[in-house]
Amino acid sequence: MSVCANLLARVSIVGLVSLTMLIAGFLAAKGTLRFVSAVQNLSHSNGWGWVAARGVITFMFAAIIASQLPTAALVLIGVLTGINLLMSWFSQIAYGFAARRLSSMVE
C-alpha cells in the first residue's frame, strides 16, 4: 500500500492509473464471487438471477476499465463506480420485494 501511496504522491498520472488497475482487479474479483455465490444459492433464493446479473455487470465494468487504460482513467473510475452503485441499489430493491413475498407466504 505504501508503494501506491508513494507513486500517487510523486506522479499523479501513474498513481491514478495504478489506482484504476487496483479498482479493476477488485471489481473483477467482486463480480466473479457474486456470480459464483448466486449460482451456488440457486435453489435457496428467489432473487438469485439479480445477484448473478449484478456479478456479470460488475465483471464487465472491470473489463471496460482494464481495456481503456490509461487514456480514460480520469473519467472511468467515477462513472463506473456510480453505475455499480446504481446496480447495487436495484438488486437491494429486488431482495426487498423477494423478502416481502416470502414473508407473506409464511403468514
Domain count, the chain: 1
Give pLDDT, residue 1.
58
Give pLDDT, residue 83.
86
Report if residue 39 sits inside a domain: yes
The whole-angstrom separation of Cα 29 and Cα 101 is 31
The whole-angstrom separation of Cα 9 and Cα 89 is 34
- 45 with 34: CB under 8 angstroms? no
The whole-angstrom separation of Cα 47 and Cα 65 is 28
Cell of 33: 464471487
Residue 52's domain comprises 24-106
Burial of 53 (0-12, 13-18, 19+ CB in 10 A): middle
Report if residue 70 sits inside a domain: yes
Report if residue 12 sits inside a domain: no
Condensed to tens digits (0 to 9), the pLDDT of residues 69-100 reads 877 777 876 787 888 899 889 888 988 888 88
Report if residue 62 sits inside a domain: yes
Q: Tell me the residue type at 7.
A: L
Report if residue 61 sits inside a domain: yes
Give pLDDT, residue 102.
82
Residues of the chain with pLDDT under 70: 1, 4, 7-9, 43, 77, 107
Report if residue 14 sits inside a domain: no
Report if residue 46 sits inside a domain: yes
Q: What is the DSSP letter of 46?
A: T
- 24 with 58: CB under 8 angstroms? no
Report if residue 13 sits inside a domain: no
Give pLDDT, residue 39.
86
